[in-house]
């Protein structure tokens, strides 16, 4: 059985989200550098983790559809070819933005994630370009900047694996890996904070302070974020694993939530986003989007550790 990357690592205090594109033209020498760096990531993580034996440091890497065949000889996972499909609703849109590699760096302290990012980028050298680098932080008791607990619906315990790890019977090419969907959302906190707490709760679908789930709205009524983000098919509910984090600085007046989700089935996240941006019924979009705007969108596949390490032998 292939060994999954650290997709299901516990929530950390700090994270860095790195979106990289391959340098152009992607010469054989540059591609070799990328493959060798990817295969050496476990060693780079160990070199940082050794600085604090009491802490855990993680690096999860995903590969985009356009870069897959250039970097690995493994068959492309079935759903990866679609990439991130842009969504245009009546009022809000979800863009697709460039990215060949995505690195999710996690640790208990900012100095550790900083050092991990520094060493990885130094190893890549001129073979990649940084499309986006966002540092996230844990906010109080795992809340987003809107003030609500985030990730409440995450699977736990033995339920995590089937939700995030691709089953070979469903997608043989992706066995042992995970699909990764990311979006960077910017918040209008001034507008959000002008709302009454009960209006905020109605939008989110949970109480703000004690995180109690509210009843679903009637079928034809405006639905909450919680309801729109819940995916049912043939009487079965499909979960995803979120590791969202707040980011930003009040002094720069730019802040938001970095949405990052791991799933064994890409279609689950796609359907969730369609429901949010198009609405159910159509036209009744997720009202959280009136205060939270996505500026990036990407889909990647997180291969098993064995596939990653073997890339160093592909020259």
**Quick one: pLDDT at residue 95?**
98
Among all chains, which residue has been given the structure tokens 């930003």?
248
Determine the average pLDDT of the residues in 229-234: 90
Residues of the chain with pLDDT > 70, as a percent, come to 98
- What CA–CA distance (Å, rounded) separates 31 from 33? 5
**Helix, strand, or coil here: 56?**
coil
Query: Which positions ≥6 away from 250 have C-beta within 8 Å?
Result: none
Query: Which positions ≥6 away from 119 have C-beta within 8 Å?
Result: 44, 47, 48
Catalytic-residue membership of 150: yes
Residue 106 covered by a domain: yes
Structure tokens that stand for 17 in this block: 């989200």
Residue 1 covered by a domain: no
Instruction: Please count the CA atoms within 13 angstroms of the CA of 311 that sit on its side-chain side.
Output: 27
Residue 6 covered by a domain: no
Residue 84 covered by a domain: yes
Which is more confident, 265 or 53? 265
Tally of CB atoms within 10 A around 76: 15
Residue 9 covered by a domain: no
pLDDT band at residue 22, thresholds of 50, 70 and 90? very high
Q: Does 93 have pLDDT greater than 80?
A: yes
Instruction: Please count the CA atoms within 13 angstroms of the CA of 136 that sit on its side-chain side.
Output: 31
- What CA–CA distance (Å, rounded) separates 137 from 104? 13
Work out whether strand 178-187 and strand 298-302 pair parallel, antiparallel, or are unpaired: antiparallel
Q: Does 314 have pLDDT greater than 70?
A: no
Q: Does 258 have pLDDT greater than 90?
A: yes
Q: Does 220 have pLDDT greater than 80?
A: no
pLDDT in tens, 46-89: 999 999 988 899 999 999 999 999 999 889 999 999 999 999 99
- What CA–CA distance (Å, rounded) separates 176 from 173? 9
Query: 24 φ, ψ to 5°?
Result: -120, 140
Residue 180 covered by a domain: yes
Determine the average pLDDT of the residues in 122-130: 98
Determine the average pLDDT of the residues in 192-221: 92
Q: Does 24 have pLDDT greater than 60?
A: yes
Residues of the chain with pLDDT > 90, as a percent, come to 85
**Cβ-contact 35, 315 below 8 angstroms:** yes
Split into its structural domains, the chain has a count of 1
Write the Ramachandran bin of 271: left for phi over 0, alpha for psi from -120 to 50, otherwise beta: alpha
Average pLDDT over the chain, rounded to an integer: 94
**Cβ-contact 22, 115 below 8 angstroms:** no
Residue 208 covered by a domain: yes
Q: Does 159 have pLDDT greater than 70?
A: yes
**Quick one: pLDDT at residue 313?**
66
Which whole-number Å values give the CA distances from 51 to 15, 39, 87, 104, 109, in the listed order? 17, 21, 44, 20, 11
Please provide the DSSP assignment of 95-135 as one string. -----SEEEEEEESSHHHHHHHHHHHHHHHGGGEEEEEEEE
Residue 29 covered by a domain: yes
- What CA–CA distance (Å, rounded) separates 272 from 265? 12
Structure tokens that stand for 132 in this block: 């986006």
Q: What is the DSSP letter of 213?
A: B
Q: From the candidates 100, 132, 144, 150, give the one annotated as an active-site residue.
A: 150
Nearest residue to 177 (alpha-carbon basis) of 99, 263, 66: 263
Q: Does 226 have pLDDT greater than 80?
A: yes
Determine the average pLDDT of the residues in 97-118: 97
What residues make up the domain containing 104?
14-313
């Amino acid at each position: 059985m292939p060994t999954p990357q650290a997709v299901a690592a516990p929530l950390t205090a700090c994270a860095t989200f790195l979106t990289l594109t391959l340098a152009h033209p992607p010469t054989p020498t540059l591609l070799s550098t990328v493959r060798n760096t990817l295969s050496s990531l476990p060693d780079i993580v160990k070199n940082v983790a050794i600085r604090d034996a009491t802490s855990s440091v993680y690096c999860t890497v995903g590969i985009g559809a356009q870069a897959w065949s250039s970097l690995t000889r493994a068959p492309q996972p079935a759903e990866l070819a679609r990439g991130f499909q842009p969504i245009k609703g009546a009022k809000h849109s979800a863009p697709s933005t460039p990215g060949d590699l995505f690195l999710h760096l996690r640790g208990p302290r900012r100095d550790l994630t900083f050092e991990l990012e520094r060493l990885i980028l130094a190893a890549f050298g001129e073979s990649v370009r940084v499309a986006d680098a966002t540092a996230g932080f844990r906010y109080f008791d795992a809340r987003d900047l809107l003030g609500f607990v985030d990730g409440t619906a995450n699977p736990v315990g033995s339920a995590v694996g089937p939700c995030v790890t691709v089953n070979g019977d469903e997608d043989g090419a992706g066995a042992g890996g995970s699909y990764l969907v990311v979006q960077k959302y910017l918040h209008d906190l001034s507008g959000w904070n002008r709302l009454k707490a009960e209006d905020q709760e109605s939008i989110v679908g949970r109480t703000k302070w004690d995180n109690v789930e509210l009843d679903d709205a009637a079928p034809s009524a405006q639905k909450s974020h919680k309801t729109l983000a819940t995916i049912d098919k043939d009487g079965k509910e499909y979960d995803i694993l979120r590791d969202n984090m707040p980011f930003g600085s009040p002094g720069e007046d730019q802040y938001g939530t970095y949405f990052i989700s791991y799933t064994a089935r890409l279609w689950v996240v796609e359907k969730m986003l369609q429901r949010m941006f198009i609405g159910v019924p159509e036209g009744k979009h997720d009202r959280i989007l009136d205060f939270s705007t996505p500026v990036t969108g990407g889909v990647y596949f997180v291969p098993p550790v064995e596939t990653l390490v073997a890339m160093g032998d592909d020259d």
